[in-house]
Amino acid sequence: MGDIVLVEDNDLGPFAETIRSGAHVLPADEPQANGGNDTGPDPYVYLVAALGACTAMTLRLYARQKKWPLQKVRVRLKHDKIYATDCANCETKEGKVDRIERSIELGGPLSDEQRTRLLQIADRCPVHRTLVSEIVISTQLA
């Protein structure tokens, strides 16, 4: 079962939130252009950060198990909303779809075959699988 995450308003602005998970406290807000005070990353930053962190951790774990010389992982991510008509591989054909661009930099004396395999393994990280699968969100008043 997953950890409980608590998100509460704070007094730093109209959209400023405090995220708590165990001993961790993180800020969230909207940028000033969207009416916030930019006191923390916006929610989509946390979404793509989760994907990036999971990707890096999955690659490290896989390389460690294979005893491959992976020395550094850097994952760059960008989230956009694009028109469905601009997406050749999307099932949705009207309106907008979310697009996450992920670029992975692997450091270390890896062979081309190892690099190719690690790129394939990136799509197997649990957060990636969650984002591309059906998600059920149950909501009720507390």
Q: For position 118, what pLDDT does the model report?
A: 98
Assigned token pair, 11? 């007094």
Q: For position 81, what pLDDT does the model report?
A: 82
Same domain for 81 and 57: yes
Same domain for 47 and 36: no
Same domain for 135 and 104: yes
Whole-Å CA distances, 58 to 55, 80, 100, 120, 138:
5, 24, 18, 11, 28
Q: For position 93, what pLDDT does the model report?
A: 62
Same domain for 47 and 22: no
Q: What is the pLDDT of residues 44-61, one digit of tens each?
A: 999 999 999 999 999 999
What range does the domain containing 6 cover?
Answer: 1-41
Structural domain count, the chain: 2
User: What is the percentage of the chain residues whose pLDDT exceeds 70?
Assistant: 90
Q: For position 50, what pLDDT does the model report?
A: 97
4: DSSP letter: P
Q: For position 90, what pLDDT does the model report?
A: 61
CATH code (residue 67): 3.30.300.20
Q: Is the pLDDT of residue 96 over 90?
A: no
Instruction: Count other Cβ atoms within 10 Å, centred on residue 80.
Output: 11
Q: 34, 48, 54, 119: which is closest to 78 by C-alpha?
A: 48
Q: What is the pLDDT of residues 8-29, one digit of tens each?
A: 999 999 999 999 999 999 999 9
Q: What is the pLDDT of residues 100-118, one digit of tens each?
A: 999 999 999 999 999 999 9
Concatenate the DSSP letters of all residues of 69-90 into one string.
---EEEEEEEEEEEEGGG-TT-
Q: 82, 85, 83, 56: which is closest to 71 by C-alpha?
A: 56
Identity of residue 29: D
What's the whole-number average pLDDT of the chain?
A: 92
Q: Is the pLDDT of residue 88 over 70?
A: no
